[in-house]
Amino acid sequence: MRSQLGGRTVVITGAASGIGLACAHAFLAEGARVGLVDRAPIPHLDGDVVAVRADVTDERELGAALGTVVQRFGRLAAVVGCAGISGPVGTPLAQTPAAEIAEVLAVNVTGQLLLVKQAQPYLADDASIVLLGSDSAFTAAPGMVPYCASKGAVVALTRALAVELPGTRVNCVCPSVVDTPMARADLGDLAFAAPAFPVQSAEDVARQVLYLASPLSRPVNGQALLADFGLSSRSAFPA
Ligand SMILES: NC(=O)c1ccc[n+]([C@@H]2O[C@H](COP(=O)([O-])OP(=O)(O)OC[C@H]3O[C@@H](n4cnc5c(N)ncnc54)[C@H](O)[C@@H]3O)[C@@H](O)[C@H]2O)c1
């Protein structure tokens, strides 16, 4: 089953690492022309690639980055928002400085809104937008309230944008723990040595993104794909 994105233009934020980088590889393998955006240095990838350094919270910088990609490769068939931060992990809200709350919301929420806003003039007629949410939109571990709130907002803004943007599909993926530099920094390498919880790979998530970005998912719009190995489906009843 091919994605039908060969020769089409895809832009990915957060493309320097983890899920964004895995998405870049997945779209390139489909023959897409890929624009990579990140505030960190972006690794060299072979293929039809243009890499631009930009911070997703800086509207002007982000808009210029998207313009560079479109000028090189043409209108956007898919926009993938992977840039994100976890912010404080294991810190109760009472001890979380306001500046750290603001930073999580700026990157994870405002960054996604600015991405869609700035991409809008460049979208192809059949464009698909895929944003990275998280299972943290639906379930919580203590000490990550700002992150959970930010991902809940991604689910809400996904639905709102799906209603607001005629002809453009907007969906988000909401994975449980993914083995990436972010998760290892948060949980420690030891947690991934013999994990007591199911772990998915960045490539697993990239395949979910690829499906939602592709015309193959044409009727799917405004949805949050909760990929958590079914854990959130379990009843409180101990059976
Ligand atoms: N790793 C997980 O367990 C997990 C689970 C669910 C959802 N997610 C989400 O997936 C997305 C990708 O996370 P990851 O695990 O690949 O993390 P990662 O840290 O490996 O990659 C995130 C990338 O985003 C970039 N970035 C951060 N802030 C930015 C900004 N302001 N402007 C531009 N680029 C910026 C970073 O430089 C980095 O390259 C995030 O939105 C994250 O919340 C991750």
* pLDDT, tens digit, 9 for 90 and up, residues 87-138: 999 999 999 999 999 999 999 999 999 999 999 999 999 999 999 999 999 9
pLDDT band at 231 (very low <50, low <70, confident <90, very high): very high
In percent, the amount of the chain with pLDDT more than 90 equals 97
Distance from the alpha carbon of residue 105 to the mean position of ligand 1, in angstroms: 13
In short, whether 20's Cβ falls inside 6 Å of ligand 1 is yes
Q: Is the dihedral of CA 207, 210, 214, 217 positive or negative?
A: positive
Residue 238 has pLDDT above 90, yes or no: no
pLDDT band at 73 (very low <50, low <70, confident <90, very high): very high
Instruction: Give the mean pLDDT of 50-69.
Output: 98
Instruction: Give the mean pLDDT of 59-66.
Output: 98
Residue 168 has pLDDT above 80, yes or no: yes
Mean confidence (pLDDT) of the chain: 97
- What residues contact 205, with CB distance under 8 A and at least 6 apart? 19, 22, 23, 132, 173, 175, 178, 227
Between CA 199 and CA 55 the distance in angstroms is: 29
Instruction: Give the mean pLDDT of 196-203.
Output: 96
**Closest ligand 1 atom to the C-alpha of 20?**
16
> Pairing mode, if any, of strands 33-38 and 49-53?
parallel
**Closest ligand 1 atom to the C-alpha of 182?**
19
C-alpha angle 169-105-233 in degrees, rounded to nearest 5: 60
Between CA 9 and CA 31 the distance in angstroms is: 10
pLDDT band at 213 (very low <50, low <70, confident <90, very high): very high
Sequence ranges of the domains in the chain: 9-226
In short, whether 111's Cβ falls inside 6 Å of ligand 1 is yes
Task: Report DSSP letters for the chain, one per residue.
Answer: ---S-TT-EEEEESTTSHHHHHHHHHHHHTT-EEEEEESSPPPP-SSSEEEEE--TT-HHHHHHHHHHHHHHH-SEEEEEE-------SS--GGGS-HHHHHHHHIIIIIHHHHHHHHHGGGEEEEEEEEEE--GGGT---TT-HHHHHHHHHHHHHHHHHHHHSTT-EEEEEEES-EESHHHHHHH-THHHHS-SS--EEHHHHHHHHHHHHSGGGTT--S-EEEESTTGGG--SS--
In short, whether 38's Cβ falls inside 6 Å of ligand 1 is yes
Which residue numbers are catalytic? 147
Residue 239 has pLDDT above 80, yes or no: no
Instruction: Give the mean pLDDT of 127-151.
Output: 97
CATH superfamily, domain 9-226, is: NAD(P)-binding Rossmann-like Domain (3.40.50.720)
Mutate to test the pocket of ligand 1, among 82, 105, 118, 225 (most ligand atoms within 8 A of CB): 82
Distance from the alpha carbon of residue 149 to the mean position of ligand 1, in angstroms: 16
In short, whether 198's Cβ falls inside 6 Å of ligand 1 is no
